[in-house]
Structure formats: C-alpha cells, structure tokens
Amino acid sequence: MRFVRSLLCAATVLAFDQGTKLWARQSLVLGEVRPLWGDFLRLTRVHNTGGAFGLLPQHTGAFIAVSCAVVLALGAVLVWGSWRRMGRVGSALLLGGAVGNLVDRLRWGYVLDFFEIRGFPVFNVADAAIVIGAGLVALSFLVRGRAR
C-alpha cells in the first residue's frame, strides 16, 4: 500500500508539472517576462537544454540517459526500499520531478522553465519537487535514518 501512495504522490507531481508547463507553453512566449510580485517573483519562459542551472547544454542525450537511470533507481527504491514516511515522500517527489523533466527532454529536447525568483535560476514544478524531495531524503537520514 505504501508503494501505491508513493506512486500517487509521484503521479500528482508529474500531472501538476506537465499541466503548468502546458499552461506556460500556451500563455508565454519564449523569453517573455511577466511580473507576478514586483521584481521578486516573475514568469519567464526559458528552454533549458542543459542540466541544473543550464549547465552543459550540448549534452541532452547524456541527460536523458542519466534521467532514465535515476527514474529506474527511484522506482526500485520505492518498491523495495524500507524508508520511513519522510524518505518515501521525498523519493516520490524526486521521482515525479525526474519523470516530468524527462518527459520534456524526450518530447521537446529541452526542459521548459518559467518560474523566476530573484536571485535563483528559472525553474519549474518538477525542479521544485526535486529540490524538496532531495531535502526530505537528506533530512530523513539526519533525523531518523532508514528503517530496517
């Protein structure tokens, strides 16, 4: 049952990510900037062909391969791992985010980013889920460790 809940969490992240990207794709022109909260929070459509922060943009194939491996590993962790709740939720967020960005890379050859907070690179829902998920997994190790 835990595995099913984790998959539902990952699927929810994926659906929300893809839904917001569909909206951004239909509503924003590449490079367009729309202020939401002054200069602090803006919508800015960016096509990221690289990794985190746009690094190594010419290596799309490598990012697809790594993303596939990460998705398989996270799926295995959720099926066979014995995580406590925080670690399971974190892994599910990581899985949903990884699949969301992988879908973009496979479909368009880039990841669609559109949220911009001053001082941070432009990101999307999948990126946020990955960061929060990684934080929860790390925190689960620090606070309680893995269940045996």
Residues labelled catalytic: 113, 127
Q: How far apart are CA 5 and CA 3, in angstroms?
A: 5
Exposure b/e, 43-67, CB count within 10 A at least 16 = b: bbbbebbebeeeeeeeebeebeeeb
Strand-pair partners of 46: 113
Contact criterion met (CB below 8 Å) for 103 and 127: no
Extract the tokens encoding 10. 């990952």
Helix H, strand E, coil C: the string for 8-36 is HHHHHHHHHHHHHHHHHHHHCCCCCEEEE
Q: How far is CA 114 from CA 117, 123, 130, in A?
A: 10, 6, 16
